[in-house]
Amino acid sequence: MIDRAELAEFLRTRREALQPEDVGLPRGARRRTRGLRREEVALLCHMSVDYYSRLERERGPRPSSQMLASIALGLHLTLDERDHLFRVGGQQPPARGGSGDHISPGLLRVLDRLSDTPAEIVTELGETLRQTPVGVALTGDLTRYAGPERSIGYRWFADPAARRLYAPEEHAFLTRLYCSGLREIIALRGPDSRAAHLAKLLLAQSEEFRQVWDTHEIGVRPREVKHFVHPEVGALELTCQRLVDPEQSHALLVYTAVPGSDSYDRLQLLSVVGA
């Protein structure tokens, strides 16, 4: 059952504990509000101000799991806080581990401060959860996908368009990388995991995947330097740094170019194009 009083109080205290700069929002010149405003939280949670306000006033319908997940991300809740939010909201908390989409507050804070740099937060299956604006300019909005298409490894074999952004000389290596990585995740998560489901789909759909899968190659690791072919700014040679959250198996990927290089200049142009 939903505990409306506890839900309202919990949301209010978490909202008031956050400052605009904690979530990548401008503070403004004459700010008197303690913590975030309700309209700011609604913006972060991708919901209407009226809907969020009713929750803080102990009114409205019981929020769905999707709504609670959006609120947990918008308020930068820890996993324990997220689980509490679900319980007082009348829902079962999602499972923890590699299959979860909840991003840790630490990773979100770092991402919020990378507004001028291509960066994204991805799951162990290569599902993009969040991107910076320049990240969207580099790869497109990768958060728009649903179902199996959320995984870059699945799209690599199922959708030829997924390869256009990457230099042709990288394709053979990336094919091996995605097969090897998927096999390792299945060994870690088990035969009933989402990773195993993706493998079954690809085995039925892609001859290329079947051929590489049958080699049983393990241990292929991402290269530090990645080569993109952007439709507007051209070739980009970018270094990819990874910051991993072991509790959720999420990774923050940050793409940078060597200062003074052609890729550096093109990356600066890309930030303008994206804006």
Q: Distance (Å, rounded) from C-alpha 178 to C-alpha 115?
A: 28
What is the pTM (predicted TM-score) of this model?
0.79
Let me know if residue 98 belongs to a domain: no
pLDDT, tens digit (0-9, with 9 covering 90-100), for 84-103: 999 999 999 887 766 678 88
Confidence of residue 8 (pLDDT cuts 50, 70, 90): very high
How much of the chain, in percent, has pLDDT values that exceed 90? 76
Residue 229 β-bridge partners: 235
* Same structural domain, 196 and 252: yes
Q: Number of H helices and number of E strands within the chain?
A: 12, 5
Let me know if residue 155 belongs to a domain: yes
Q: Is the pLDDT of residue 275 over 70?
A: no
pLDDT, tens digit (0-9, with 9 covering 90-100), for 211-232: 999 999 999 999 999 999 999 9
Let me know if residue 32 belongs to a domain: yes
* Same structural domain, 13 and 130: no
Q: Is the pLDDT of residue 263 over 60?
A: yes
Q: For residue 51, which amino acid is it?
A: Y
Token pair recorded at residue 45: 């949670």
Confidence of residue 194 (pLDDT cuts 50, 70, 90): very high
Token pair recorded at residue 236: 């980009």
3-state secondary structure of 38: helix
Confidence of residue 20 (pLDDT cuts 50, 70, 90): confident
Confidence of residue 25 (pLDDT cuts 50, 70, 90): confident
Query: Which structural domain range is residue 196 located in?
Result: 105-274
Tell me the pLDDT of the chain averaged across its residues.
92
Domain containing residue 133: CATH number: 3.30.450.180
Domain final position from 88, 118, 139? 88
Domain tally, the chain: 2
* Same structural domain, 27 and 159: no
Confidence of residue 249 (pLDDT cuts 50, 70, 90): confident
* Same structural domain, 213 and 174: yes
Nearest CA-CA partner of 196 in 181, 182, 176: 182
The confidence score (pLDDT) of residue 98 equals 61
Let me know if residue 203 belongs to a domain: yes
